[in-house]
Structure 1
């Protein structure tokens, strides 16, 4: 599955036209599926999450099943590559002219001994808490990731070297082994240069590399922050527009249109959540997700042919998980359970809601 978590917007350019296989995946099949994926509303490209969402929603498709099978085989093949025996000097520059890659080290989150995410506020009470970092290789031309790797604790120099070697020799499928024209290393990797330089200096021209300067690192940080803020606001506005369409359709008792519109709002909110960079933005987005889920649950239960209480229950349960203080999530669960004949469970849901109202934590 790993290869299919990466953007596919570059499928039309970086690989030779005469290649039937792209990193172990069938080119024509990739393009066929990509044409069916709705482009990202902000960028106009088929982005990572757009492709993932389409694949998840069409798991019964023979084309999707075939691509998943190819991806799993390709992933296994990449795992078997021994980079210590790979002839890096035999590689020419990447197929895309004047390509540039950026190797980054980023703090991801805190995890416990089982790998589960830990809230920083309670981390001091959890035994075995570790920092999880992410090493990533971005193609700056398309802003796509050739390779991503999670590391428990700060990586060793040998870990960073092996990661760079895998970026070149064994990237995520559908990328092929290649060298960029230019490799930029994050300033956070400066402590590892003594280990990295001897290898990087052996790579054939026109390859070149350098480490970020403090000024460049700050500039990239500012650009990244500004981009996240813009995309967060844009996706939030798109979700509001889609929700309004859902509300109008719900008022007109048009179940199909309402469900579709609320689904689009949720897709935009998922994107907004990924772009959120403050706790306030994250909490506000979770509240909006809960609202849209409970509204879609209500749409599923509109009277008439096609009522789907099971789907309504699923949405309402997710709404409670997203925002436990959202009272409508409990109301929709109870109604769905009653429609399904689960009256005892419906009463338990109502009891949970009443506890919230008594403590004053409801909304």
Structure 2
């Protein structure tokens, strides 16, 4: 469910890479057989068998109390066969739950999109947050691979849309939260291009031009995104201060020399990027070979 530091404080996963002393947290869900109720138990670190089998662990303590309850109450420990049957029923509940939660997420996202189009920041954020909650529920219910991929993609869309909502100019604008949501979009689905674009926009607004360029370059290094024209447009915009590639031969070639060779950080950033970026550069060079 996330990461905590040595003091037990929650740490955003996007900020935890390479940090020492971080531990994962897990949530155990125990479903009541009708599907109407569930018990949740959170653990820090991978749960051990004693934590998972709580009833067996506490049975000696519980037995005298359970025996004292008057009829018609009765109790016993379920058999292995009963446990397997319950597992199957829980699976069926999860199957239905995935479908229901995906539908709720889609509806909430649509409400958010409508509010965003009207620039109603609070209403859009509320709706996207609701959608995100439903999608987290989906991912906790063991969806199949296709359902998981769809949920993660929609989760990335909702995080990205919430980032865009935080970037709307005016009262309530929060660029830092926009950046965090862009990072969460990338974590949910690294193939979703807009997550990187939101990060770049927020980083640029914060005056962190290198971070903005890094976000777009990270996306373009992915084989599934290297031909995304919007990402390449954004990279060129960031590299040229919004001017675009120059049509003057000397200016363009000097610029290419700077970004590919002279500026070490820039050259490292652009190293290994092919696809649409390489095609644009080659196309511009070709102007003076005719």
Distance change (3 Å), C-alpha of 1:208 and 1:252? closer
Q: 1:360, CA displacement in angstroms? A: 5.2
Which structure has more strand as a fraction of its residues?
A: 1
Q: 1:250, CA displacement in angstroms? A: 1.2
Structure 2 match to 1:163: 58
Distance change (3 Å), C-alpha of 1:357 and 1:304? farther
Structure 2 match to 1:315: 181
Q: 1:210, CA displacement in angstroms? A: 4.8
Q: 1:212, CA displacement in angstroms? A: 2.5
Highest CA radius of gyration, 1 or 2?
2
Structure 1 match to 2:165: 299
Q: TM-score, normalised by structure 2?
A: 0.57
In structure 1, what is the Cα distance between the partners aligned to 2:223 and 2:183?
Answer: 18
State the SS of the aligned residue for 2:169: coil
**2:119 maps to 1:224:** no
| Equivalent of 1:344 in 201, 210, 232 | 210
Structure 2 match to 1:234: 100
Which blocks of at least 5 consecutive residues in structure 1 are unaligned?
Answer: 1-55, 57-113, 118-131, 170-176, 183-203
Q: TM-score, normalised by structure 1?
A: 0.47
Preserved CA contact (<8 Å) 2:94 2:143: yes
Distance change (3 Å), C-alpha of 1:361 and 1:323? farther
Distance change (3 Å), C-alpha of 1:285 and 1:260? same
Which blocks of at least 5 consecutive residues in structure 2 are unaligned?
Answer: 1-9, 11-21, 232-290
| Equivalent of 2:66 in 179, 182, 192 | 179
| Equivalent of 2:76 in 196, 209, 215 | 209
Q: 1:218, CA displacement in angstroms? A: 4.7
| Equivalent residue runs for 1:67-216 within 5 Å | 143-145=37-39, 152=48, 161-165=56-60, 168=62, 178-179=65-66, 207-212=74-79, 214=81, 216=82
In structure 1, what is the Cα distance between the partners aligned to 2:208 and 2:108?
Answer: 32
Which structure has more helix as a fraction of its residues?
A: 2
In structure 2, what is the Cα distance between the partners aligned to 1:271 and 1:210?
Answer: 29
Structure 2 match to 1:257: 123
Q: Relative contact order: is structure 1 or structure 2 higher (C-alpha 8 Å, sep ≥ 6)? A: 1
State the SS of the aligned residue for 2:168: coil
Deviations 1:236-263 (A, max 9, x none): 1001000001111111222221111111
In structure 1, what is the Cα distance between the partners aligned to 2:167 and 2:225?
Answer: 29
Q: 1:230, CA displacement in angstroms? A: 1.0
Preserved CA contact (<8 Å) 1:240 1:265: yes
